[in-house]
Amino acid sequence: MKVIADVSIVPIGVGVSLSRYVAACERVFKEAELDTRLHAYGTNVQGEWDAVFDAFKRCHEVVHEMGAPRVSTVIKVGTRTDRDQTMGDKVGSVEAKLK
């Protein structure tokens, strides 16, 4: 089952600068060879359900290992059985209607 997901991780109890934790998760996604796209409030991630969610779990583990005692994450995940769709397709489909 393929998914297009979006993940936004918030380490709690480590101050206000969170970018190094987000960067650590980006590295987890890269090691997992997932297609990703970073944006200003999270990261789009595309792949097989298990690969994507294993990476999200690893992300929590890594952020805890970096010293965060608490982590709160928001995940959006979409699946569809009617047709294949990539992250690029989704954006392109909206942009085509804006022309």
- Minimum distance, C-beta of residue 48 to its own copies, in the bound complex (Å): 11
Cβ nearer to its own copies, comparing 33 with 81: 81
Between 34 and 44, whose beta carbon lies closer to its own copies? 44
In degrees rounded to 5, what are phi and psi of residue 55? Answer: -65, -40
In this structure, the dihedral spanned by the alpha carbons of residues 22, 60, 76 and 81, taken in order and rounded to 10 degrees, is 120
CB 11 within 8 A of CB 70: yes
Q: How far is the CB of 12 from its own copies (least distance, A)?
A: 6
Where along the sequence are the contacts to its own copies (CB under 8 A)? 1, 4-6, 8, 10, 12-13, 15-16, 18-20, 22-23, 26-27, 37-42, 44, 46, 49-50, 53, 57, 60-61, 64, 69-82, 87-88, 90-91, 93-98
59-97 per-residue burial string, b: 16 or more CB within 10 A, e: under 16: bbebbeeeebeebeeeeeeeeeeeeeeebeeeeeeeeee
Minimum CB–partner distance for residue 98 and its own copies (Å): 5
